[in-house]
Amino acid sequence: MKILKLLAFAVVVLSFILVGLLFFPFLSVSKTFIRKKLIHLVSFVSKLMLKILSIEVECHISPLFSKDANYLVVANHLSYLDVIILASKMPTCFVTSREVKNTFFLGHLTQLAGCLFVDRKNKMGLKGEILELRQALMDGLSVTVFPEATSTNGEEVLRFRRPLFEASVATQKSILPITLNYRSISGEKFNRNNRDVVCWYGEMTFFDHFLKILEQDKIEVEVFVSEPFAPAIMSSFDLASKSQEIIKLNYIGFSQNVMEAL
């Protein structure tokens, strides 16, 4: 089963790369148009990937969410699987780090997926990158960021960094908070003993971790799409704080899983 999953996943990824390469040369000519095509392609491919990896997603969506609007989407971050899960539910342009861009394989995939890249360690460069985020929002794209600035081990939702929220303040595009909860792994509740199967953090290597994903019978994920809210006169600090508060409220982590198992 593991070999079959790996082969199927490889076929999907290779197909995505080949199709993506057809669009990539035109990215510098018509960036917005090509990026829109790429993120719709990523959304379709992500649906296939979830099926291959036996990941089932239950989604709870606020009635105030509109498919016709574009948002600055903010979410908690536990794994590279988060990207596939979110992309499968809505076409969106992801913001990731320049470290990922320079990572073998992952870097190539993120560039083909039309991602935006930021270097949070370079404050001068970050200003120019926020301008690119602003432009993407103004062009009608939804842009997804992980404000914790790192993937975590599932213990808690870390403090949200505020700089990228400047794009919402400048464009007055609404914030859409989304909470990701991994609920079970191969029939066992998500807990501290099995979290490393899905959580990708610290010094973990991609390929070793991905092989563990392939071994699972089923991974169940719950996604809460909260009510979007307009930035109005709020500062980037206030937007970050409010977004974190909403996501923490919906984040289950280990505690409720443990209680349900008793």
Q: What is the mean pLDDT of each run of 10 residues along the chain (262 residues)?
A: 91 91 76 86 96 97 96 97 95 83 73 79 70 91 94 95 94 98 96 96 91 96 98 95 97 67 44
What CA–CA distance (Å, rounded) separates 23 from 32?
Answer: 12
Domain 2-261 has CATH 3.40.1130: yes
**Over the stretch 144-201, which tens digit does the pLDDT of each residue have?**
999 998 899 999 999 999 999 999 999 999 999 999 999 999 999 999 999 999 999 9
CA angle 76, 82, 84 (to 5 degrees): 150
What is the pLDDT at residue 138? 95
Enumerate the domain spans of the chain: 2-261
